[in-house]
Amino acid sequence: MNELDVVRGIGVDTPDPDEATTSAARARLLAAIRGEATTGGPAVTDMTVDLDARRKARQARRRRLLPAGAAIAAVLATALVAQLLLHDPTPVTREQDSDTRVAGDVLASAEPAAVKVLTTAAAAAARAPEPAFGPGRYWYVRERGTRVGGNDDQFRTPKSFYFRTSYDNETWWAPDGKLRGCEAARPSAARGSSAPPIGTPGLPTAVPSSPGRGCTPPTRVPARPWQAAAASASPSAQPRRRRCRVGRC
């Protein structure tokens, strides 16, 4: 089919505009032609003015709606994050480090009574005043206890044996993490290779440490750690075994 026949067919089906509309459109067209002939460029007609006004109105409406849209998006994002945090906590996976996994397991299996005790202790610690600790001051710790030792050079051989040692430590911690300490210790129950393991009846498991201070703090801080080590190893040292350490850990 010829395109012109198609256009003519559409024209037949479409009613003609009335005379007034046709005259007004013709007048605007002629005015536009005259304007272009005068200025050498597109004339500013009612139609172009109308288009410009519509474009500016759209831009203004977009500018007005932009902050509102951003605010709505922020509210929706906040609500989504809150839902995720409240209802979908990050699961403890096997890829995480062992400490995290152990902590998660412990918390998951903790008894309510233990949780209550720990919570109470944490609250008490939070209420406790901070000690006046800073430069020129030291955190003094005295501890008594027992530990298991052995002949490490025969570890996992038939000649290996283990013994329990009591100790009495005094440690002065500096704010920078350095420390000096004194330890008085003595073996309590040495075992031969054929002896039963520690803890069997009939053998003492520990000898209590002597009462009083574990050791006397030096009158000054040695400049070099090996000086303290040499002093503690000399025969003229204290009658019982004494070990002083500087810069341990």
Partner 1 sequence: MPRRTVLIFDPATARLLGSRSVLAAEVPGVRLPPGTVMEETAFVEMSVVDSPTTRPSSGG
Binding interface with partner 1 (CB under 8 A):
117, 120-122, 124-125, 128, 131-133, 136-148, 155-157, 160, 162, 170, 172, 174, 180, 197-199, 213, 217-221
CB of 202 to partner 1, least distance (A): 17
One-letter amino acid for residue 129 of the chain:
P
Question: Which of 197/201 has CB closer to partner 1?
Answer: 197
Gyration radius from the chain CA atoms: 46
Question: Which of 72/114 has CB closer to partner 1?
Answer: 114
82-92 as b/e: b if 16+ CB within 10 A: eeeeeeeeeee
Contact between residue 180 and residue 186 where contact means Cβ atoms under 8 Å apart: no
Contact between residue 180 and residue 221 where contact means Cβ atoms under 8 Å apart: yes
CB of 179 to partner 1, least distance (A): 8
CB of 101 to partner 1, least distance (A): 15
Question: Which of 23/200 has CB closer to partner 1?
Answer: 200
CB of 142 to partner 1, least distance (A): 4
CB of 132 to partner 1, least distance (A): 6
Cα 180 to Cα 218: distance, rounded to the nearest angstrom: 10
Question: Which of 58/116 has CB closer to partner 1?
Answer: 116
Reading the block at residue 239, the tokens are 């009658």
Residue closest to 227 by CA, chosen among 244, 214, 210, 242? 244
Cα 69 to Cα 76: distance, rounded to the nearest angstrom: 11
Question: Which of 49/102 has CB closer to partner 1?
Answer: 102
Question: Which of 42/208 has CB closer to partner 1?
Answer: 208
Strands 242-246 vs 162-173: parallel, antiparallel or unpaired: unpaired
105-140 as b/e: b if 16+ CB within 10 A: eeeeeeeeeeeeeeeeeeeeeeeeeeeeeeeeeeee
CB of 122 to partner 1, least distance (A): 7
